[in-house]
Structure 1
Amino acid sequence: MGSSLSSQSENEGPKAIPPGPWNPLTILGISKSPSERLTDMSYHYGPVFSFRMIGAPLTVVLNNHRVIEEALIGNADAFPTRVTSPLRHQWGTRGRIFYSHGEDQVAIRQFVYHGLKVFQEGVLFVKVSEEARHLCDAFGKDDSPIEPTHLLTLASGNIMSILNFGKRYDYNDQNIIQLMESFDYLHLALDPTNPVHQFPWLYETFWYRKLKQSQEFVRDFIQDEIKEHRSHFDPDNPKDFIDLYLKRITKDDDLFLVERAWYTIKDVFSSSSNPTAAGLQWMIALICQHQDMQQKILEEVEAVIGLEKLPAFEDLHKMPFTHAFMKEILRYRTVVPFGTREVVRDVTINGYHIPKGSRVYLNYWAAERDPDLWHNPDQFMPERFLSSDGKTVLKHKHHIPLGIGHRDCMGQTMALMEMFLFGTNLLQKYHLKFSPDEPPPSLRGICGTVVVAEQFKLIATKRN
C-alpha cells in the first residue's frame, strides 16, 4: 500500500482493537471502487482492520472467509442485525427484514420465508418463464445493437413486481422504469464508504437531493400499491406479498401494522431484484465475452432441453458447465460485495477486541478473491467448480457470494432460477456477441451495495 496509510499503534495483548489507518478518509479513494479499496487495505493491515470517523462508532472490516465465519457462525449472537445508521432510523427499523432482531427478526423472516415458499411452489416458476419470453421478444425486435442491462433490470424488476404487487409492466411503462431507476440509484449510492452513513446531516443537503427523492419515490410507490390492495382485499385469496401482509395483521400483534407494511415490501423487493438483475447482467456480458463458453452452454441446452422446449429450473442439475458458469459469475463479480452488522456485545475476532456498538463490514468481495483459497482469483474460470471429468459440480465451503449464517440472502434460489431461465431462454433463440461497432466493455463493474455491469451493446442473432 502507499505511504498515505500510516498504521495505528496497537495495544499489546489479545484485547487490542484491529489496526487501521490514522487518516480514515483514505477509504474514500476515488481511483478504485469501494470493494477494491477495502480489499487493498486488507493486504496492508491484515484480514481484520478498523477505522473511525469523527463522531461515529468504530468500524471494523472483515476480509476473508475464516474471520467472517468466526463472526457470523462462531459468534452469531454478537452480530444479530445489519447496521442501522441514523439515515435508516429516519423511517424506523422495527418490522424491517434487515434491521429487526430478537423475536421480531424471527417473526419477520418466518413471514418472508413462508411467502417465498408459497409463491415459488405456485406461480413463480411460470411467471419467470413467461417473463423470459417477453425478454426474448425485446431482444429480437430488430437487428440493430441493443443495450441489454436496462432490459435485464426491468425483467428482474417485473418478477418482484408480480411477487409483491401482483402485476407485471411493459418495458416501456414509466412506472417500472422509474421504480427500478430509483432502486438502482439507492443501491449504487449507499455503499459502505458513502460519507452520509458517518455524517447523516448530509442527507438534507443539496448533494443528496437525488438520494432523498429516490427514497421518497420508492416509499410513495409502495404505499400507493398497499392502498389499492386494501380497497379490494380478499383474505381468502392472497395473490401477492402485500395481500399476505394484510392477512397477517391482527389486533393482538403490534409488529405487523399497515403503516409498517411498506418497509417489509420494500425489503422483499430490493433484496432480490437488484442483486438478481446484476447477476443477469454479468451472465449476459460474460457469455458475450467468452464465445467458447457460450458454445458449451448451448451444447448443454441442446442436449438437455432442446431449442424448442421450455426450460425448467430442474434442468440446471443436468447441466454441470452451465451451473458452474453461474457459480463462477457470483464469485468473480460478487454481486453483493458487502454485508454490514452491528455489534451488540464485546467480542473477540482473530484475536482482536471489537467493542459493543461497533459497526462491522463483511467484505465478501475480498473473501471471494482470497489467493490462499482461490487459484488465479482474478480470472473467470467456471472449471474451478467442476470435477476433473467436467460431469460434477463441486461445492466450495468458502464460496459465500450472497452471505453466510442465519441472515444470509433469502433470495438465493430465486436469483439462480432467474439467471438460469432467462439465460437459457435467450440462448435457445439467439447467438449473443458484443456489438463490433462499440468498444468492448471493461467488465470491471460499478460498485455500490451491489456490483453491476457497465452498460454495453450486443448483437442478438436469431438461431436458424
Structure 2
Amino acid sequence: MAPWASALSSSGTMVLLLVLLLLVTFWFFRSPGKSSLHMPPGPPALPIIGNLHLLDIKRQDVSFIKLSKTYGPVYTLHFGSRKVVVLVGHEAVKEALLSKDNEFINRPYIPIFYHIQHGNGIFFSDGDLWKTIRRFTLACMRELGMGKNLMERKIQEELHFLIEMISSHKGEQFPLKAFIGAPTNITFIVLFGDRFDYADPTFVTFLGLIDEVMTLLGKPFLHVFNAFPYLGFLLKPHKLILRKIGETNAILHKYIQVAKQSVSENSMGSYIDGLLFRQKEEEKSESKKMFYDANITASILDLVMAGTETTATTMQWAVLMMMKYPEIQRKVQEEIKRVLGSERVPTYEDRKRMPFTLAVIHEVQRFSSVVLQFPRCTAVDTHFRGYFIPKGTMVIPSLTSVLYDETQWETPHKFNPNHFLDAAGNFVAKEAFVPFSIGRRNCAGESLARMEIFIFFVGLLQKFTFRPPPGMTEADLDLTFEPAFTRRPKPYTTCAIPQE
C-alpha cells in the first residue's frame, strides 16, 4: 500500500473513532437513568410524550411514589419535552423546601395558571412582586385578627349558622357538600368584611363557580394542555376554566368597586380594604407599582379559591371519617363532653385539653392529603444531593408522599389517630405532617385554617352524630377520592342525628 494511502486509511480510522466516541458520549448522557448536566436519574423518555405514559393522570401521587421505588427519592421525568424533577418522601421534600428554600422558591410556568393569573397574585408570582404581596397578606391577616380572639368569635358565630342549617334537615340525609358554606364564609369575612346567607344567590353562584373550576382543574385533558399548550385549540377544559374564572372575577370586581368608594386611611375592615389602601399609597409615590388592579384581583382570587377549597374539603373528609369509624366518633364525643359539656361553645384553646380529638383532626388531614403537590421552580442553578438542577427547572415536591411516607408513619395507608398519640394518650406533633406545605411558600392562611377546622369539627360533634344514609353501612363507604385539583371525597350524603 502506498504511504499516502496508508496515511489516509489511518486518518479515516481516527475520524471514525472520533465520531463513534462522540456518539457514545451523546448516548451516555441521553440514555435511561441519565440526563444531560448530571440531572437526577429517571425513566427513558419517549418521543413527543416523554414519560406521560408512565403517569396515572388521576393518581399522579401514586405514580410518583411508585416510580421512586425504582429511581429513588429524587428523579427526573419528561412532561412532553419538558424536564421535571420529582421529590418523594419526607427527607427529600424537607431538604429542598427548608434547607434549600431560597433555591426552590419560584413557581414554574404552568400554562393554565398563567392564563388565569398572568404571573400576578400570591401563589403564582415570583421575585419582588411575590415577596411584597406575600408580606402584605401576612401582615394584613394579623391585623384583621387571624389567630386571635376576633377571628375566633367570627368562626364561633359561623358555627351557629352551620348548626342551624344542619338541624333544618331533622336527621334526614343531606350532601357532604353542604359543609362547604361555613369555611367559605370565613374566607369571605376576611376578604370582604362580611358573611353571606347560605341561600344568597351570589353566594350560591360563587360556590358553584369555585366547585366547577376545581373539578375542571383535575380533568385529564387539562394535563395534556399543560404539557402541549399549542394543542389548546383542540381541547376544551382550559377554555371552560377561563370562562368560569371570568365569571368569578366579574363578581369580585363588583366588590372591589364598592370598596374603592369607601376605603379609608383610618380603618381596615377587610383584605380588600388593605389592598386598596396600599394602592392609594403607591399612587402618591414614585416607587415601583405592585398593587395595580390586575394584581389586586389575582390576590383576592387566590385566597377565594385556596381558602374555600382546602378547608371545606377537609371538613367533608372529617365527617366522612366519622361516618366510617363510629367508634372513633364516640371517643371524640366523650372527650368533648368531659371538656366542654353539651352547651359551651368550643374555643381554639380547648385543643390543649383534647388530645384525642386533636389527633383525629390531624389524622383526617394526613390521610385525606387534600393538596397533593404544588410545583416549585429553581430560582438559580442548583446542586441537590449530588445532582445538578438548572435554573428554571420545574420541581414537584410530593406532599402526599410525605404524609404517606412509610418511614414516618406506622400505618400510612390506614386512618389511624394513634399516629399523633404517645403511649400515655398525649398528643404528639410530627415533623412529617405537611398538609399546608413547608418553607416560605407554605399556606398563608394556615393558622386560620387550623382554628376553623378545630372549632367547626368539635362544635358539630358536640351537637350531632353523623351516620351513613339509609341503605348504607360503614363498610359501604369508600375512602378513595374524586379527581379534582384537590383530593375530594366521593359525593356521599350523611345523616346528622342530634345528640341527646
Normalised by the length of structure 1, the TM-score is 0.91
> Aligned residue for 1:49?
75
2:492 matched to 1:456?
yes
Match of 1:35 among 61, 64, 68: 61
1:165-200 Cα deviation digits (max 9, x unpaired): 222222223322232232233334335972222223
Taking the aligned partners of 2:149 and 2:265, their CA distance within structure 1 comes to 18
> Aligned residue for 2:188?
161
Unaligned runs of 5+ in 1: 1-6
Contact 1:18 1:50 in 2 (8 A): yes
Taking the aligned partners of 2:301 and 2:409, their CA distance within structure 1 comes to 35
> Aligned residue for 2:122?
97
Contact 1:27 1:38 in 2 (8 A): no
Change (3 A) 1:192 1:102: farther
RMSD of Structure 2 on Structure 1 (CA): 2.4
Taking the aligned partners of 2:444 and 2:135, their CA distance within structure 1 comes to 11
2:229 matched to 1:200?
yes
Match of 1:420 among 427, 434, 454: 454
2:109 matched to 1:84?
yes
Secondary structure of 1:458 counterpart: strand
Taking the aligned partners of 2:194 and 2:444, their CA distance within structure 1 comes to 22
Contact 1:151 1:171 in 2 (8 A): no
- The AA in structure 2 aligned to 1:22 is A
> Aligned residue for 1:437?
471
Taking the aligned partners of 1:202 and 1:123, their CA distance within structure 2 comes to 49
**Structure 2 counterparts to residues 207-286 of structure 1, below 5 A:** 207-208=236-237, 209-249=239-279, 250-251=282-283, 252=285, 253=287, 254-286=289-321
Taking the aligned partners of 2:245 and 2:232, their CA distance within structure 1 comes to 11
> Aligned residue for 1:20?
43
2:216 matched to 1:189?
yes
Offset of 1:344 from its aligned partner? 2.3
Taking the aligned partners of 2:361 and 2:267, their CA distance within structure 1 comes to 36
Taking the aligned partners of 1:415 and 1:323, their CA distance within structure 2 comes to 14
Offset of 1:84 from its aligned partner? 2.9
Offset of 1:100 from its aligned partner? 2.7
1:226-271 Cα deviation digits (max 9, x unpaired): 0121123333222111011111112224001234211111122222
Secondary structure of 1:401 counterpart: coil
Offset of 1:17 from its aligned partner? 3.2
- The AA in structure 2 aligned to 1:141 is S
Offset of 1:27 from its aligned partner? 4.5
2:410 matched to 1:380?
no
Taking the aligned partners of 1:356 and 1:51, their CA distance within structure 2 comes to 16
> Aligned residue for 1:113?
138
Offset of 1:202 from its aligned partner? 4.9
Contact 2:116 2:242 in 1 (8 A): no
- The AA in structure 2 aligned to 1:39 is I
Offset of 1:76 from its aligned partner? 1.7
Higher mean C-alpha displacement, 115-124 vs 357-366: 115-124
The percentage of aligned residue pairs carrying the same residue is: 25
Higher mean C-alpha displacement, 228-237 vs 422-431: 228-237
Secondary structure of 1:348 counterpart: strand
Offset of 1:379 from its aligned partner? 0.8
Change (3 A) 1:168 1:103: same
Contact 2:35 2:41 in 1 (8 A): no
Change (3 A) 1:409 1:12: closer
> Aligned residue for 2:13?
none
Higher mean C-alpha displacement, 450-459 vs 437-446: 437-446
1:257-305 Cα deviation digits (max 9, x unpaired): 2342111111222222211111111111111111111111111111111
Contact 2:176 2:494 in 1 (8 A): no
Count of matched residue pairs: 455
Change (3 A) 1:389 1:176: same
> Aligned residue for 2:438?
404
Secondary structure of 1:461 counterpart: strand
> Aligned residue for 1:3?
none
Taking the aligned partners of 1:88 and 1:171, their CA distance within structure 2 comes to 29
Contact 1:347 1:353 in 2 (8 A): yes
Contact 1:189 1:448 in 2 (8 A): yes
Q: Larger C-alpha radius of gyration, 1 or 2?
A: 2
Taking the aligned partners of 1:138 and 1:92, their CA distance within structure 2 comes to 35
Offset of 1:201 from its aligned partner? 4.0
1:52-111 Cα deviation digits (max 9, x unpaired): 233x53111111111112212222222122223233333554542123333332221121
Unaligned runs of 5+ in 2: 1-29
**Structure 2 counterparts to residues 294-373 of structure 1, below 5 A:** 294-373=329-408
**Structure with more helix by fraction:** 2
Change (3 A) 1:326 1:394: same
- The AA in structure 2 aligned to 1:217 is E
Change (3 A) 1:210 1:174: farther
2:170 matched to 1:143?
yes
Offset of 1:337 from its aligned partner? 1.1
Taking the aligned partners of 1:322 and 1:411, their CA distance within structure 2 comes to 22
Change (3 A) 1:304 1:231: same
Change (3 A) 1:330 1:216: same
- The AA in structure 2 aligned to 1:223 is H
Normalised by the length of structure 2, the TM-score is 0.85
